[in-house]
Chain A
Amino acid sequence: EVQLVESGEGLVQPGSSMKLSCVASGFTFSNYGMNWIRQAPKKGLEWIALIYYDSSSKYYADSVKGRFTISRDNSKNTLYLEMNSLRSEDTAMYYCAKSAALDYWGQGVMVTVSS
Chain B
Amino acid sequence: DIQMTQSPSSLPASLGDRVTITCRASQDIGNYLRWFQQKPGKSPRLMIYGATNLAAGVPSRFSGSRSGSDYSLTINSLESEDMAIYYCLQHNEYPYTFGAGTKLELK
Which A residues form the contact surface with B (CB < 8 A)? 35, 44-47, 50, 59-62, 95, 100-108
Contact = CB atoms under 8 A, between A and B. Distances in A.
Nearest to A65: B95
Interface residues of B, number: 22
Contacts of B89: 45, 47, 102
Contacts, number: 51
Nearest to B94: A59
Contacts of B32: 101
B23 to A, nearest CB: 12
A62 B1 CA distance: 10
A110 to B, nearest CB: 12
B46 A62 contact: no
A62 B96 CA distance: 11
Given A47-B96, A62-B95, A102 B46 contact: yes
A108 B105 CA distance: 24
Given A44-B101, A45-B87, A106 B95 contact: no
